[in-house]
Amino acid sequence: MTDFPQHVADLSKDNTDLPENRTEKIPVGISSCLLGERVRYDGGHKKSSYIMDTLGEYFDYRAFCPEMEIGLGVPRETIRLVQQDDTVRVVGSKNPDLDVTDALVASAHQQRDWHQKLFAYIVKKDSPSCGMERVKVFKKDTPHRIGSGFYTKTLMENFPNLPIEEEGRLGDSVLRENFIHRVFIYRRWHELIDSGLTLNKLTDFHARHKLVLFSHNQDAARTLGNSLSNAHKLDLEQYAYSYISALMAILKIPATRRNHVNVLQHIQGYLKQYLDKDDKQELVESIERYRVGQLPLIVPITLLNHYFRKFPNEYIDRSYYLAPHPKELMLLNAL
């Protein structure tokens, strides 16, 4: 019930041994065309240099093309989503008798063994097989962006907590950071499960992510924290499944500037007895300038990290908020 176990590892005592600071890459599924494989209907590809070169430093890709898997071949007739009475089918754009709906669903189910070894999946936008959302559904030849590709739709049903994103949305700095952040947290979760789940470990996991959750949605974060306080009354394995489902749902909500400011100000409070007047003013001004959009999030976070190196605090040191993912990705520079 706690999702599949993966990669046995002990929980680290400090941020120097976090998964994102290790050398092994994270297993991630991906649409083959995004890696430059010529599997599209016209024999082309949609290679993404950011996905291959930047994220490829951290992600170990497993490429897959469901349309090739079900035997459509290259070149091939394009397929599309079509509304037929109360259902949507995946059929040929020229030949409506070419119906691959059931084949795509079956293909997704057949890949479960390796899907369950993944920590994320990047799919091709707009694809009737792989698109995550806003895929065109044709109603009497009029397109409506209300659909999902049937392979990806089935994947999401099979693994509702798995971080999934379209390559097109990775161009948005907020959505990009949100997705990559979820990937690292999802891997930490499975390392927790692999290490042997206990209530103490789950409580520690939550404490280390508490500030992160508050940057996404404060009310939902409080609700999850309250549920954890009553977890000792419940079956731990069943509760853990509901916990990770709730946590991943919170993380899907993009963090807001307002929530980040609240968290930054909260963290600032741990330094009030250590900083002199000038340092306090500099920190206050950096948070305020971030609030009004004059500075990126990385600036107040860099200042806070600097001060906590001088004045360590165990809770802040163990929190993931100030070091959510590898700094080389520079994801906070654009927020």
Domain check: are 53 and 158 in the same one?
A: yes
Q: How far apart are CA 81 and CA 68, in angstroms?
A: 17
Q: Does residue 35 sit within a domain?
A: yes
Sheet holding 164-166, edge to edge: 59-64, 26-31, 121-123, 164-166
> Does 263 share its domain with 148?
no
Kindly tell me if the per-residue pLDDT of 22 is higher than 70.
Answer: no
Q: Residue 23: its pLDDT value, please?
A: 63
* 8 has pLDDT over 80: no
Angle at 119 between CA 62 and CA 5, to 5 degrees: 115
311 inside domain? yes
99: which DSSP letter?
Answer: B
Classify residue 241: in a domain, yes or no.
no
> In this structure, what are the phi and psi dihedrals at residue 172, rounded to the nearest 5 degrees?
-90, 125
Is 177 within a domain? Answer: no
Q: Tokens in use for 245?
A: 């489902």
Residue 154 and residue 38 in one domain: yes
Average pLDDT, whole number, for the chain? Answer: 92
> Quick one: tokens of 230?
């009553």
Range of the domain at 45: 23-171
Contact assessment for residue 103 and residue 154, using Cβ atoms and an 8 Å cutoff: no
DSSP one-letter code for 173 = H
Distances (CA, A) of 158 to 3, 226, 248, 295: 11, 28, 15, 41
Question: What are 145-158's pLDDT values in tens digits?
Answer: 999 999 999 999 99
Q: Which of 171, 204, 235 is the last residue of a domain?
A: 171
From 171, 195, 213, the end of a domain falls on 171
pLDDT tens across 276-285, in order?
999 999 999 9
Helices (H) and strands (E) in the chain, counts: 13, 8
Structural domain includes residue 295: yes
| 30 shares its domain with 167 | yes
Could you give the angle at the alpha carbon of 58 between the alpha carbons of 121 and 40, nearest 5°? 45
d(C-alpha 286, C-alpha 32), whole Å = 43
pLDDT > 70 fraction of the chain, expressed in percent and rounded: 93
The reply to whether 36 and 139 lie within a common domain is yes
Q: Within 10 A of 293 (CB to CB), how many other CB atoms are there? A: 8
pLDDT at 271 over 50: yes
Task: Give the pLDDT confidence score for residue 140 in this predicted structure.
Answer: 87
Q: Is residue 103 part of a domain?
A: yes
Q: Determine which of 181-185, 203-207, 250-254, 326-330 has the lowest per-residue pLDDT on average.
A: 326-330
- Sorting pLDDT into bands at 50, 70 and 90, what band is 181? very high
> Is the Cβ–Cβ distance between 151 and 111 less than 8 Å?
no
Number of domains, the chain: 2
pLDDT tens digit sequence for 32-59: 999 999 999 888 889 999 999 999 999 9
Position 19 scores a pLDDT of 44
End-of-domain residue from the set 125, 156, 171: 171
Query: Residue 194's pLDDT band (boundaries 50, 70, 90)?
Result: very high
Helix intervals (H) in the chain = 49, 66-69, 101-110, 112-115, 150-158, 173-194, 199-216, 218-229, 236-252, 257-268, 277-291, 298-310, 314-318
**Residue 13 domain flag:** no
Report if residue 106 sits inside a domain.
Answer: yes
Does the pLDDT at position 21 exceed 90?
no
Instruction: Tell whether the model's pLDDT for residue 60 goes beyond 50.
Output: yes
**pLDDT at residue 172 greater than cutoff 90:** yes
Burial environment of residue 66 by CB neighbours within 10 A (0 to 12, 13 to 18, 19 or more): buried
Q: Confidence band (pLDDT; 50, 70, 90) for 9?
A: very low
